[in-house]
Amino acid sequence: MKNFINIFRLSVVALVISLFTIMPVAAQNPPPPPGEHGGLNNSSPAGGGAPIGEGILILSLLGAAYGVRKWRVAKNEQEV
């Protein structure tokens, strides 16, 4: 029964990882630029070029570290 649970957990993790890697490919096309774009007075993009990628990376790493910590604590409790 433990082997089945481990295989099930592994398959769920693989499914979630594959969904997160496929989702950016299925994203929609960006909207067209505003009417003023390309003229003498180019406007800045909406959002001002905010760095979103770094925040997502930090949150992902913190979540992974938290998961590893929970896994190690659970593993140590099972051994005792």
Q: Total structural domains in the chain?
A: 1
Question: Could you tell me if residue 63 is inside a domain?
Answer: no
pLDDT recorded at residue 3 = 81
Report pTM. 0.38
Confidence of residue 6 (pLDDT cuts 50, 70, 90): confident
Q: Do the beta carbons of residue 75 and residue 69 sit within 8 Å? A: no
Question: Could you tell me if residue 16 is inside a domain?
Answer: yes
Question: Could you tell me if residue 67 is inside a domain?
Answer: no
Question: Residue 76 has which token pair?
Answer: 């140590």
Confidence of residue 18 (pLDDT cuts 50, 70, 90): confident
Report pLDDT digits (tens) over 29-79. Answer: 777 766 665 666 666 666 666 666 677 888 899 999 999 999 999 988 887
Question: Could you tell me if residue 12 is inside a domain?
Answer: yes
Question: Could you tell me if residue 75 is inside a domain?
Answer: no
Longest alpha-carbon distance in the chain:
72
Question: Could you tell me if residue 3 is inside a domain?
Answer: yes
* Domain containing residue 10: 1-26
How far is residue 40's CA from residue 33's CA, in Å, rounded to a whole number?
15
pLDDT recorded at residue 43 = 61
Question: Residue 79 has which token pair?
Answer: 């051994």
Question: Could you tell me if residue 56 is inside a domain?
Answer: no
Question: Could you tell me if residue 77 is inside a domain?
Answer: no
